[in-house]
Amino acid sequence: MNRFIYTILMYLSLPFAVLRILIKDSKNKSWKQKLKNQLGYVNNLQGKVIWIHCVSVGEFNAAKPLIDQLLKKYPSHKLVITTTTITGADATKSHYQNRVIHYFFPFDLPFIVGSFINKINPITCILLETEIWPNLINSLNKKAIPVVLINARLSEQSFDKYQRFSSKLVEKTINQFTFIGSQNNPSRERFLSLGASPDKVIMVGNLKFDSHEKINSALDEEIRLIVGKRDIIVFASTRNGEENQIIQSYNNLKEKFDALLFIIPRHPERFDEVFNMVSKTGLKVARRSENLQCSNMDVLIGDSMGEMMAYYKFCHIAFIGGSLSNTGGQNMLEAASASKPIIFGPSIHNFEEVAKSLLKRNAAIQVGNSDELMQTISELLLDKKRQLILGKNAKSTYEKNQGSINKVIELITPVIES
């Protein structure tokens, strides 16, 4: 596939992308702003602008150390943060208030990205992880605006997909980056196999190891009062189908342990669905947003945003969602930074290197299915010593992998100042 065919396909998909916003996001007050921004309607900006794109909350959290450093290093510059999701937008606005400018990321069509670029007029564009957009990157290159990919990762699945369907287009596009800062060596090798110039792909590590959440004492106290002194199991960022597996397996072993299951669905639009599903099983269930005391509850649904670190602080064991379904897992590092025993399922391809590092250092446990998950949890609850060892090793693994932000700043500074 070349860029011409890719662009035709993008034009054909545009009506469906707009329809998706109208259907999926129309209940949110930000949907009109999202649609306008994604079609290229943003304000004209003056002065020096640094543009950073983070798809959603996970990428935004990874980018925080970089955003903080850039705000400090370039106080007279404007920072534009784009996200694709509304949850990412909410996280950005909540954390940085008016210190940054937020827009939604434009659709990757030449006339749209061209208009977007002309209006914000960035001196540099910074993309995170796997955001490889041919028309955007080509448009930036035409205007001699440097574009970099940081915290770059390429899973085996993504690599295979690129090789099968668009190897020539991807090869041309990734060589238009000023540099690619790779999270790990396997990703670096995959970028090179796709045709990236060796001098462009640099191993910098994972920025998520450098991300630190501020302590919120009021929130901590609120959570402490809700959960009391019970054993708490956090099921973080669960995906469709996982909650049902977890509840069924829990019911089979319920008599073996008295613990509060704290389930936090990955997507806010599923909060009601998961609550209703659990309610129908006969288990006692509450919503975090209700602020109810949970001493006699079986399940608490985490339906409030931006509180994951507080949940980890008070839990005894953390299960990482997206790993029982075939979606590749979610970020394990927040739980590691909180010194918690970590469990995940078989599907971890999006965080393969982090998972391997945790397993190698006896900082996590991998299970094959939900029954094995619940059996492992019941055994861990009775083994406080092993809980402490796993948590200590998780924290140590987290700390030993820090320092990526220094390498990224070293690489990005001459690009911004050139």
Element (H, E) at 201: strand 201-203
Whether residue 215 has pLDDT greater than 70: no
pLDDT tens per residue across span 227-268 = 888 899 999 999 999 999 999 999 988 877 789 999 999 988
Domains of the chain from N-terminus onward: 14-205+403-417 (3.40.50.11720), 217-400 (3.40.50.2000)
Distance CA 196, CA 177 (A): 9
Instruction: Taking each helix axis as running N to C, give the angle between helix 167-174 and helix 3-24, from 0 to 180 degrees, rounded to the nearest 10.
Output: 90
What pTM was estimated for this model as a whole?
Answer: 0.87
338 close to 359: Cβ distance less than 8 angstroms = no
Given this model, what pLDDT does residue 66 score? 97
185 close to 203: Cβ distance less than 8 angstroms = yes
Closest CA to 139 of 170, 169, 166, 118: 118
Whether residue 219 has pLDDT greater than 90: no
Whether residue 75 has pLDDT greater than 70: yes
Whether residue 414 has pLDDT greater than 90: yes
Q: Could you give the angle at the alpha carbon of 207 between the alpha carbons of 267 and 329, nearest 5°?
A: 35
Given this model, what pLDDT does residue 34 score? 96
Whether residue 165 has pLDDT greater than 90: no
7 close to 110: Cβ distance less than 8 angstroms = yes
Element (H, E) at 13: helix 3-24
Given this model, what pLDDT does residue 122 score? 98
Element (H, E) at 51: strand 49-53
237 close to 322: Cβ distance less than 8 angstroms = yes
8 band by pLDDT with thresholds 50, 70 and 90: very high
pLDDT tens per residue across span 118-142 = 999 999 999 999 999 999 999 999 9
24 band by pLDDT with thresholds 50, 70 and 90: confident
Whether residue 166 has pLDDT greater than 90: no
Catalytic positions, please? 59
